Each structure stands twice: as C-alpha cells, then as structure tokens.
Amino acid sequence: MDLASSKARERSMGWIRDKKMKLSWRASGCLHKNGKLVLKLAALFLFVGFCVRILSPSSADSMDHTETPLMIDKRDAPGLPVDKGDNLPAASQGQVIGAEECDLFTGDWIPNPSGPVYTNESCPFIESHQNCMKNGRPDTGYLYWRWIPRSCSLPQFDAKKFLELMRDKTWALIGDSISRNHVQSVLCLLSTVEKPIELYHDEEYRSRRWWIPAYNFTISVIWSPFLVKAAIFEDFNGVSTSEVKLYLDELDPKWTDIYQNLDYMIISTGKWFLKSSIYYEDGSIVGCHICDQSQNATELGFDFAYEKTLHKVMDFISRSGHKGLIFFRTSTPDHFENGEWHNGGGCPRTKPAREGEVGLNLLNKILRDIELKEFEKASKEARRNGVKLRLLDFTNLTLFRPDGHPGPYRQFQPFSHGEDAKVQNDCLHWCLPGPIDSWNDVIMQIVVNAVH
C-alpha cells in the first residue's frame, strides 16, 4: 500500500458507487428498522452475562512473567484471560485435534503474558518500516496476545520442531509486500534456533532467498504482486508515471518457473489490483480500471481483472500435479480510520478490537468474495488431481487487530519535531514482533497434521 495505491483505492470506491456493484445496500435499512429490537436483545445479553459472571468462580491464579529481552515493557501486558479461556470448548484444554476437524481460523485473541519469543534487537531481519519499537512506538501491550481457536488448542510455533520437519525442504512466499512482511516474521522465529544465511536477492531486494545449513532448509520470498505478468511504472515509494499494464492471460514466470521445485508455498495477492491498470489478453487491450481516457479502453473494474487472474492461477495450480503442499492466503484487511493512506487516515488503537467494533469495508469484501469463490472451485479440481491445496483464511484473525500496525512508526521517531508533525501512517502492514507472528502458529499446525 502506498500513496498511489491509496488514491487508486479511493477512485475504486467511487467507481463502485457509480456502477452500483454486486452488493446490496438494503442491509443498512434493515438495521435501522430493527434497531429497537437489537438494543433490547443487547440489554438482555448484557444482563445475562453479568449474572453468569457473578455466579461463576473467577480465575485469579497468577502467572510468573517470563523475562523477555530488552525493548519489551512488561507493564503493558494485559491481564490473564478469564472469560475467554473459561468459555473455550473442552477440546482446546490441551487436546490437539486434526486440522480437518478443527477450524483454526475461528477463535479469539487471548492475553499472553509471556509475550513474543523474539524482539527487534534479537532479530536482524526486520525491515525499518515494520520495526515499530526501534522507531519509537511507546506502547507494547499489542505484543501480549495470542490467537486461540475456539474448537481446539493451538501450540505456539516451535522453530526447532518446524526445522526438523522441514529438513531438506524448500519454501516460498509468493505475492506482494504482505508476503515480504510475513517472511520476516518466519525468519525471526527460525533465527531463535539458527540464523538463516541470505543466498540471493534481486536488485531491489524484493525477491530474496535464505538457507539454514544445519537443516538444509531454504525459504524465499518471490515478488509477484499480481501473480500474472505485469509492467509496473512506479518507484519503490509507489510514485507512478503510468498505468500498470496487466497481461491477464499470462502467469508471472517469476513464480511459475520455480513452482515445481518447491515443497511448500504460500500464494497471495490483493490490494495491487486497485491500482489504475490497463488489461491485456492475447496482446490486445480488453479494458482497464480507472485509466486515462486517452487510452480509449472500456472501464471494466478491478473485480474483472481479479477474478480472471485468480481463476487462471487456481486453474494452473489444480492441474499442475504438484506433489507438495500449496497454501492460498486471503488478502488482509487494513485498519485506516478517519481517512486513508494519503489523506491523514490512521490506526491509533492499542488493543484488539471486539466483535462489532470493526468490519470489512466494501473493497475488502469484494476481494474476499472473489478469493473464496475461486478457491472453492479450484479445491475440488485439485482434490480430483491429487494436488494438496489449502486455504489460509486469516481475515477474521487480522480484522480484530487494528492495534498491530506501524501507524506513524513506520519511520524513525516520527514525532521528534513535535506531536503535531504531519506523518505518514501505515495501517496495512504489521509491526514485528506483532500479530502476524500468530499466522505461523496456524501454518505449523496444518503442516504438522499434513506430515503425520
């Protein structure tokens, strides 16, 4: 996400309103009509909860706070879980059940007094824009939460066990800057056992590869923000000189050329499709999204390109005969409030959100609906062809963490010239350490079940 893509997102929203796309707006009217009923039900719910709370024994047992490295302020750690922990199903009280039996993606953020297993000082792989603590973020409470599924337990990522399972294996995370953010999290966790060695990087350090010699384990991040072939005319800061040229019938060889050599991969895309783009098929222009009128191209909307792209990607995967494990990750929601990237939007929250406090905006909902539809179709074909394709649906997991973004602390000491300084907020990427580390707990559990 950057200035150009944020403006494109705003124009995309305008385009949606003009075209009255796909989604019904009647829901708001229904909510208004049923407002009194909702208030009555809410009052009843609160009263019942209050009674249960009084009659139920509280969990007042204290836990010793394990000392964590420098830069972690334990004073910000939340209290121990009481309500959430007591209400978890019996299966989550120590029994680890198979991934097919457990919904790992429906759960709650539970206070975790022990905090993260690494810090910005112990991990050398955190890039500056995600290094929130070094950049001066004053609060650390966002570090003390864990994602816990409601129907089973979820062990924390065990770097040593993971590396033992992945001996002589090759991984790749394929996609945009969120994939780059994610690979930093994985590297930080793995470095608690052995520091990965960088083997390769492209000129802009967007595609990179690392190796852990003791386990002969290789992990890469492949920069392919559209997954199809694209000509992008912008610099590293997102300043564009022309529309993106998207070739919807040609997959990006940066990932397809190495596809069969990978044992595991996580593929994702999303927000880049909101950019101003011209669409090509068979070498000819077929349409565009918010493009210059001089292009004389038909406005088709980003959803046209997104659906076409994901259909082609999923068709390639499901028919590939690949013998490894392939994850498709849904796009992640952002948490801009009171504006967007380019016009003062921010993400000032310091705690996870509760149900009802946050929701998917229209753009994120359109992206997600397309992702789930195309994945569902492809997964059936993949099963018939013996291809192991799995969904990583982190939407709910990330939706409730508006506190986990860099915000103004994407840059070093943003308020060094005064609290009123005009700063750029990042409410899309994730602080490290931070909520994105919990993705790896889920991924490891799926991998463990697949291996065994």
pLDDT band for position 40 (cuts 50, 70, 90): very low
Give one word for 26, left, alpha or beta, with left for phi > 0 and alpha for psi -120 to 50: alpha
What global pTM score does this model have?
A: 0.80
**248-264 per-position pLDDT tens digit:** 999 999 999 999 999 99
Strands 277-281 and 244-251, by their bridges, are parallel
Domain contains 52 = no
pLDDT digits over 391-417, tens only? 999 999 999 999 999 999 999 999 988
Which run of H or of E encompasses 417? none
Question: Residue 158: what pLDDT?
Answer: 98
Which one is catalytic: 426, 437, 438, 441?
Answer: 426
Distance separating alpha carbons of residues 90 and 150, to the nearest angstrom: 9
Q: Looking at the predicted structure, is the pLDDT value of residue 197 above 80?
A: yes
List of residues 6+ apart from 446 with CB closer than 8 A: 99, 104, 327, 390
Domain span at residue 160 reads: 3-14+79-451
97 part of a folded domain: yes
Q: Which of 429, 437, 438, 441 is catalytic?
A: 429
Q: What is the mean pLDDT of residues 91-101?
A: 40
Please check whether residue 152 is in contact with residue 102, taking contact to mean a CB–CB distance below 8 angstroms: yes
pLDDT digits (tens, 9 = 90+) for 338-382: 988 778 899 999 999 998 899 999 999 999 999 999 999 999 999
Q: Is residue 329 part of a domain?
A: yes
User: Above 80 in pLDDT, residue 322?
Assistant: yes
Q: Is residue 39 part of a domain?
A: no
Checking if the pLDDT of 81 tops 80, the result is no
- State mean pLDDT over 27-49: 41
User: Higher pLDDT residue, 8 or 65?
Assistant: 8
The band of 449, judged by pLDDT with boundaries at 50, 70 and 90, is very high
Helices (H), 137-257: 159-165, 177-190, 253-256
Residue 362 belongs to domain with CATH number: 3.40.50.1110
Q: Look at residue 323 and tell me if it is in a domain.
A: yes
429 is catalytic: yes
How many whole angstroms separate alpha carbon 89 and alpha carbon 106? 12
Find tokens 């060889």 and name the residue: 253
Q: What are phi and psi of 73, to 5 degrees?
A: -95, 105
What's the number of domains the chain is made of? 1
Q: What DSSP character marks residue 234? A: B
Reply yes or no on whether the pLDDT at 152 is more than 70: yes
The predicted pLDDT at position 365 comes to 96
* Beta carbons within 10 angstroms of residue 200's beta carbon: 10
Does residue 147 lie within any of the structural domains? yes
Tell me if residue 426 is catalytic. Answer: yes
The verdict on residue 164 lying in a domain is yes
Would you say residue 42 lies in a domain?
A: no
pLDDT bucket at 89, cuts 50 / 70 / 90: very low
Dihedral class, residue 361 (left if φ above 0, else alpha if ψ from -120 to 50, else beta) = beta
- Rounded Cα–Cα distance for residues 151 and 238 (Å): 42
Partners of 389 in the β-ladder: 326
Kindly name the residue from 5, 6, 92, 177 that is annotated as catalytic.
177
Give the CB-side neighbour count of residue 91, counting CA atoms within 13 A: 14
Q: What is the pLDDT of residue 6?
A: 56
